[in-house]
């Protein structure tokens, strides 16, 4: 090949893999650290910062997931309680009426086969309630608790003020939740008559 051919050939005199449009630019020839303009210490610090940020993101995501699971469990428990309480609340007036019937019949005629039969039905109801984790609310003689009792009236009594002296309707719990508050009469201090 003649010298003229070498001058005319645009590929002549270039290293293999070089850019056909011209010489290799300084940016392309630089190392990754030089491209970022960071030295090794700065690059390590940047990577450490990125690692901490990723770890913080991971912790936040894990906490969000745990909160979501807790919220789902709570909502599921609430839905179960609502479904169960609807049925139980329909049964409670039946139990109330059975108790009233037994009390009235016992006062009127004493014990009889009919009264004993009604008592047996009531015991079956109460056994079913126990299996469903339904328990009566203790009220008589207890201090008034607005979380468990609903006061209908107050009467003067020799018992300490704020004590439940009469239960008009029994309250019930379902597990650790209140199904129905007890309707009660609460003692109040006797009024002191002014001295003549």
Question: Tokens 């894990």 sit at which residue?
Answer: 62
Domain architecture of the chain: domains with CATH: 134-189 (2.30.22.10)
Rounded Cα gap, residues 189 and 160, in angstroms: 7
> pTM higher than 0.75 for the full model?
no
- Residue in this structure with the two tokens 């995501």, named with its chain if needed: 61
Question: pLDDT by residue for the chain (196 residues), tens digit each?
Answer: 444 454 555 454 454 444 444 454 444 444 444 445 678 888 899 999 999 999 999 999 999 999 999 999 999 988 888 888 888 888 899 999 998 888 888 877 767 788 888 889 999 989 999 898 888 988 888 888 888 998 898 888 888 888 898 888 899 998 888 889 999 999 887 776 666 5
């Amino acid at each position: 090949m003649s010298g003229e051919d070498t001058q005319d050939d645009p590929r002549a005199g270039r290293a293999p893999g070089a850019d056909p449009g011209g010489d290799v630019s300084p940016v392309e020839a630089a190392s990754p650290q030089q491209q970022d303009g960071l030295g090794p210490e700065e690059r390590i610090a940047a990577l450490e910062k990125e690692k901490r940020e990723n770890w913080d993101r991971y912790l936040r995501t894990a906490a969000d997931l745990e909160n979501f699971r807790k919220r789902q469990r709570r909502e599921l428990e609430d839905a179960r309680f609502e479904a169960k309480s609807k049925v139980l609340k329909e049964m409670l007036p039946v139990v109330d009426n059975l108790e009233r019937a037994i009390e009235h019949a016992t006062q009127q005629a004493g014990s009889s086969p009919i009264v004993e039969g009604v008592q047996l039905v009531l015991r079956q109801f109460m056994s079913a309630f126990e299996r469903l984790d339904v328990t009566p609310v203790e009220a008589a003689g207890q201090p008034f608790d607005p979380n468990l009792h609903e006061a209908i009236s107050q009467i003067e009594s020799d018992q300490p003020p704020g004590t439940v002296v009469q239960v008009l309707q029994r309250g019930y719990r379902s597990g650790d939740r209140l199904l129905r508050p007890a309707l009660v009469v609460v003692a109040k201090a006797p009024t002191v008559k002014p001295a003549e």
